[in-house]
Structure 1
Amino acid sequence: MLMRHALTCTLVAGMIVGAGLLAGCSHEQPAGSRTMLRLDSAAVDLVAGTATEHDEARLLARAENELIRRCMAAQGQPYATELPRTESATDAVTRPDLASRRSVGYGLAAAYARTGGEDPLRAALPPGRQAGYDQALSGAGTRQRSVTIDGTTLGYDTDGCIATSRADLYGNLDRQAVLILVQQKARLRIDVAVRDDRRYRAAVTAWSGCMTATGHRFATPDDARSRLSEQFAQHGAGTALRQTEVAVAVADAKCAADSGLVSAAAEVARDFLSRLPDEILQHLPDAVDTRRVALDRAAALALPAQCTPAACHGADTHRQ
């Protein structure tokens, strides 16, 4: 997600993971009776990452930023509402975001160009005001809650402007945490299923041929990202390498569509949805309802106009 101060996701075994797909969180499907659940289009959008969900994710990110800005302003603190195009909340190997890739590629250059992850707004404040800024934004760090689904515990602060704004947008923090866990755990399992499916593997072969035809030789989409990451690690985020990243990422997205990789991934995902663990399926209706509430509230907000990619590229933000 595009905002700083990520919710902390911790495996019961103690492994800490980030706010993206929960790598390493896969478990065996629980035994017993299956949950009989009709998966409507909203549920499919939520866990399969469709184009509709991409658009909704952008709206929710903008709404959350605006609510945080208002909360911070009420306490006399600065906050940047623009979302810079340094990475995409919706881009994925099997769900490429072409608009984002045309602007910043995979987001690798921006990641390697960052120095220390320092919040520029906080750094610009006099030292005496930084503690007040931290507490206004994130709270005192002493009031926390957690929820656990399918073996993963998600902890989150309950005070500060980030927490207040999320509660306002999603109804309450517990419901938002359930939404995040359901979405991430389902997508992890779906992505594993997609990569293991013969339909997707055949599409990857076609993707590789398409990429070769454009002058970019990679065996898989993951190979493209990995090799570019190695280049950035060795040479830094120079202009030429940034341009190469964008070119490769755009070609990747186009070949993913032309080769059938995107459609194959979507087909496998739909086939796999009903085989998700009971615990995920049982929480799915509540997660869908929570997202609907948040989308309705986001649509009712008077949000600032979105900046262009060029303007956003240099904007400050808080990234989750």
Structure 2
Amino acid sequence: MNRITSGVLAGLMLASGLVGCTSAQSADPGWTSSATSEAVDLATRSGGWPKTEEELQNAANRLDERCLREAGFAVPTAPAVRLPAPEDEKAAIALGQRSNLGYGIATPAHESTASAVETYVQTLSHPEQIRYRAAQFGSGAPRTTIVLIPPAKVQVADGGCVATGRRSLAGDLRTWARLDYIPDQLDSRLSAQAMKVPRYKAALASWRACLKARSFDFPSPEAAQTALRKEYARIGPSRRFKRREIAVAVADGECAQKAHLPTVLLAARRSLVEHLPSSELSSLRSLGTKRHTALARARKTLGMDKSG
């Protein structure tokens, strides 16, 4: 989450086949144009979703830690999960990060820094590391396949502390996996479709004109980053490349801010939710109900930790 992603796209593909499974269509007798605000938040990972997702992820971390400590491992407490709000345009663009790291191509953000848990695991003997992984994921690391929005599927750990904690929050692994991956799945698709919406195309034209005025010529923020990644793969690290990367990334960000590209894209993504197939809107409503239950359990878990 710390690395600046391609342009202002928020949807990240976390499982194979997540994009392009079903196209958004206009309402007709087989489709519905009604979408609750909660469904829109869930499908676009915006609105109230980031804050409640923080609670779910933080509770899952606390349960993992509690389980591992009961197994005899003195794991450190993970830092609290903090998710950016898509509505915060300045945070989405992150000009300060761009001025230091560019897109994170020549200098990836935080990738070389091991987490406190990773550092702790490295202090264990080899046999204890094996026992730790078995406690975390189950002996033999069993996995189960979960169907998301067809044809997409994802494999998740089916044993150990990870699976136990997620079952205690969501009721079963299938529900947890769908809560975890379906918002990514839908947001990836909606993000791609939103780029074809007229208002976004108009904002993108404004962005291109701004970029050309700064002596850079790319058709989109995604194309700018792709071109620089290819250049880096061809020529390797150098001070000259890093200066160019930062210059392009900063110009991209400043022009995105001027054209309000993240705000326009988010509005387009949210507007497309009501055109999802009725089956997917029904799934979102069902997931919303299950998410409320999981959140209640997460808040109880986090409250127990605070009271303890």
Distance 2:158 2:296 in 1: 23
- 1:57 equivalent to 2:20? Answer no
- For the residue of structure 2 that corresponds to 1:110, the secondary structure is coil
Instruction: Deviation per CA, 1:168-203: give whole Å up to 9, x if none.
Output: 333332212222343133213212211122221221
1:216, 1:19 → 2: CA distance? 31
Give yes or no for contact 1:105–1:245 (8 Å, CA) kept in 2: yes
Q: Which of the residues 51, 60, 79 maps onto 1:82? A: 79
Q: Cα distance 1:248–1:42, how it changes in 2: closer, same or farther (>3 A)?
A: farther
Residue aligning to 1:127: 126
Instruction: Name the Cα RMSD after superposition.
Output: 4.4
Q: 1:170: which partner in 2?
A: 170
- Tell me, in whole angstroms, the C-alpha distance in 1 between the residues paired with 2:62 and 2:216: 40
Identify unmatched segments of 5+ residues in structure 2. 3-11
Report 1:144-293 matches (<5 A). 144-211=144-211, 218-230=218-230, 233=233, 234-236=235-237, 241=242, 252-253=252-253, 255-293=255-293
Are residues 1:138 and 2:133 paired? no
CA contact (8 A) 2:60 2:169 kept: yes
**1:26 match:** 21
Quote how far apart the aligned CAs of 1:158 are. Answer: 2.4
**What residue in structure 1 maps to residue 36 of structure 2?**
40
1:275-297 deviation per Cα after TM superposition (whole angstroms, max 9, x unaligned): 21333222111211233333344
Is residue 2:72 matched to residue 1:73?
Answer: no
Q: Which AA in structure 1 matches 2:21?
A: S
**8 A Cα contact 2:33 2:275, kept in partner:** no
Shifted more, 275-284 versus 295-304: the winner is 295-304
- Residue type matched to 1:144 in 2? T
> Per-residue displacement from partner, 1:62-119 (whole Å, max 9, x unpaired)?
33222222221121222551269xxx96598x98844866457655433795499995
* Amino acid of the structure 1 residue aligned with 2:108: A
Q: SS in structure 2 opposite 1:155?
A: strand
**One-letter amino acid of the counterpart of residue 130, structure 1:** Q
Alpha-carbon distance between aligned partners in 2 of 1:75 and 1:51, rounded to the nearest angstrom:
38
Moved more, 223-232 or 151-160: 223-232
Q: How many residue pairs end up in the alignment?
A: 286
Structure of greater Rg:
2
Q: Which residue of 2 aligns with 1:110?
A: 108
2 CA distance for matches of 1:80 and 1:259?
Answer: 41
Provide the C-alpha distance between the structure 1 equivalents of 2:20 and 2:263, rounded to a whole number of angstroms: 26
Residue 150 of structure 1: how far off its partner (Å): 2.5
Contact 1:68–1:79 under 8 Å retained in 2 = no
Q: Secondary structure at the match of 2:40?
A: helix
The sequence identity of aligned pairs, in percent, is 25
CA shift, 1:125, in A, is 1.9
Q: Within 2, Cα distance between the matches of 1:246 and 1:89? A: 24
Residue type matched to 2:153 in 1? T
Distance 1:73 1:232, change over 3 A: farther
- Once residues 269 and 191 of structure 1 are traced to their aligned partners in structure 2, the CA distance between those partners, rounded to angstroms, is 6
The answer (yes or no) to whether the contact 2:148–2:182 under 8 Å persists in 1 is: no
TM-score (norm 1): 0.69
Instruction: Provide the rounded CA distance (Å) in 2 between the counterparts of 1:169 and 1:158.
Output: 15
CA distance in 2, matches of 1:115, 1:291: 33
Instruction: Give the match for residue 316 of structure 1.
Output: none
Distance 1:221 1:293 in 2: 39
